[in-house]
Amino acid sequence: MDVQLLTLLIVGASFLLYIGIAVWARAGSTQDFYVAGGGVHPVVNGMATAADWMSAASFISMAGLISFMGYDGAVYLMGWTGGYVLLALCLAPYLRKFGKFTVPDFIGDRYYSQTARTVAVFCAIFVCFTYVAGQMRGVGVVFSRFLEVDIVTGVVIGMGIVFFYTVLGGMKGITYTQVAQYCVLIFAYIVPAVFISMMVTGHILPQTAFGATLADGSGVFMLDKLDMLSTELGFNEYTSGTKSTIDVFFITFALMVGTAGLPHVIVRFFTVPKVSDARKSAGYALVFIALLYTTAPALASFGRVNMIETINGPTVNGEIGKGTPYATAPTWIKNWEKTGLITFNDKNGDGNMFYAAGSITDPASANEMKVDRDIMVLANPEIANLPAWVIALVAAGGVAAALSTSAGLLLVISTSVSHDLLKRNFAPNISDKAELGYARLAAAVAICIAGYFGINPPGFVAQVVAFAFGLAASSFFPAIIMGIFSKRMNDKGAVSGMIAGIAFTAAYIIYFKFVNPAANVPANWWFGISPEGIGTLGMMVNFGVAFLVFKFTKEAPQEIQELVESIRYPKGAGEASAH
């Protein structure tokens, strides 16, 4: 059975499973639609949260980032993982105790202001649109290869599937669908990693193989070979970083606090029965996430070595191959060429492919291959000549990762519009049925806009997602932290801070990514901070503006201060007693 047919069968079977679960667990009320009835077990919620958060950026793009960037790619690994620790300790239990459906609900009630609620809604929509664009791109990458269609068609197919089970099941359907998707994506990620690990180093655990010697008997360590290949081909040394210390810190911190401010992740902690379950959910989610995140650096390294030696020819006695004939190129190169994500330009006319540093369009460069970093995880099994069923399994995992997060993001967008804007602002007497109808209409509009940005993305998948984290860091995180730990903070300070933070961060990203991309070099960045890390500075702007405005305005009313006290110190909590 060929790879395409097997892929269609496995991906199709997984879709039937997801849609079957969505139908079985379809939402019958607004509480089911928004928070799954509030009765999800912490382990189940932890698994669903892991799937919700481990998007196409984690499954498809993160190992590709590390594979191409080496040490510099570790900032994504550190930032995204650290964010969950922050979320578990500082936010999850308090937000669950507050007991609202959405983040704008929390901000609107905590800051006793419809204006604050509305600003939070627009921030949520902006963040989620940026994030979901990356997911749609990931869906397009998967479908374009394994259905042998162009990436536009791939995105359109993914849009239809996500929309169907998002609007049908709401949070209740999405929760149980995401449990299935987590199982699919983690199995699809680990299996090829174990296969390749054994082939390259003889170790069954990718995590230990990462630092082991190669299985060819040379005694050369895996990372030493990568350093040699990288430097000989004109790339930076794989195990050395090129980013400035300040940029590494700002990117890592933006991803970390951005995780803790993402509305589609925070809403998951409203689905558990008790406050203590919110903290447990975050702990379980971290364990489930760690299975993939500790595997990613090894998978990235294996893929990098295999890709270079497949294109350039095997390394013999430390001598890098001089190129592989294009006429006899492996099928994976020809297959990915159809998508436009791999390109060959025979500059010297010798008929051989050669991959090196430099631009494929620059005649003076030795490089003749353009390889999109977003294909690395999906192409890895093909590069390593793994069985067809493993290749098909990875396709199913990539789709599961992209679709699970897309569904969560679309739910936030739809509920922000129907619940926070309509129900809480413009139409307070609207019926449950009408509210669900508007939620589904908002999801339809949202997925069309997200699909457009999936077809015309402002960067590779993980980079687009990093922008979303920066926007969340600069808008939601300060408002939530101040709302919990600064009981006197008022509405005017919070609103001013959110507007200033997200406006500054969005302007910086838009300038360097859209208005003047040619200027997107370290010499032009403020304080050496890249667009991926500017969310940290935006967060500082938010805090600064909020406290400045607060100093010149009236503090929060007494009843709000008492409400904050009740969130932070539950009734009956106090010093331990022997009685």
Q: What is the pLDDT of residues 212-259, one digit of tens each?
A: 998 888 888 999 999 999 999 999 999 988 889 999 999 999 988 887
Closest by CA position to 52, among listed 181, 188, 191 = 181
Mean pLDDT along residues 455-481: 77
Band (pLDDT 50/70/90 cuts) for residue 261 is low
Using the predicted structure, report yes or no on whether residue 572 has a pLDDT greater than 50.
Answer: no
Mean pLDDT along residues 470-483: 90
Using the predicted structure, report yes or no on whether residue 28 has a pLDDT greater than 60.
Answer: no
- Tell me what pLDDT residue 22 has: 64
Contact 138/402 with Cβ under 8 angstroms?
yes
Closest by CA position to 571, among listed 563, 579, 91, 473 = 563
Rounded to an integer, what distance in angstroms lies between the CA atom of residue 307 and that of residue 196? 13
Band (pLDDT 50/70/90 cuts) for residue 31 is very low
Band (pLDDT 50/70/90 cuts) for residue 308 is very high
- Tell me what pLDDT residue 351 has: 92
Mean pLDDT along residues 347-358: 91
Band (pLDDT 50/70/90 cuts) for residue 462 is low
Percent of the chain with pLDDT over 90: 24
What is the DSSP secondary structure assignment for residue 314, as one 8-state letter?
A: -
Q: How many CA atoms lie within 13 A of 346 on its CB side?
A: 10
Using the predicted structure, report yes or no on whether residue 579 has a pLDDT greater than 60.
Answer: no
Using the predicted structure, report yes or no on whether residue 575 has a pLDDT greater than 50.
Answer: no
Total number of residues shown for the chain: 579
> What is the chain's mean pLDDT, rounded?
81
Using the predicted structure, report yes or no on whether residue 263 has a pLDDT greater than 60.
Answer: yes
The winner for highest mean pLDDT among 28-42, 60-74, 166-180, 261-275 is 60-74
Using the predicted structure, report yes or no on whether residue 439 has a pLDDT greater than 80.
Answer: no
The winner for highest mean pLDDT among 168-172, 358-362, 464-468, 499-503 is 499-503
Q: How many CA atoms lie within 13 A of 382 on its CB side?
A: 23
Q: Does 22 or 521 have the greater pLDDT score?
A: 521
Strand ranges for 314-426 from DSSP E: 324-325, 342-344, 352-353, 369-371
pTM: 0.79
Q: Which residue has the tokens 């191959």?
A: 321
Using the predicted structure, report yes or no on whether residue 173 has a pLDDT greater than 70.
Answer: no
| Phi-psi group of 557: left, alpha or beta (phi > 0 → left; psi -120 to 50 → alpha; rest → beta) | beta
The winner for highest mean pLDDT among 75-89, 138-152, 286-300, 547-561 is 547-561
Band (pLDDT 50/70/90 cuts) for residue 42 is confident
Band (pLDDT 50/70/90 cuts) for residue 17 is confident
Contacts of 156 (CB under 8 A, 6+ apart): 451
Using the predicted structure, report yes or no on whether residue 435 has a pLDDT greater than 70.
Answer: yes
Percent of the chain with pLDDT over 70: 86
Contacts of 459 (CB under 8 A, 6+ apart): 467, 513
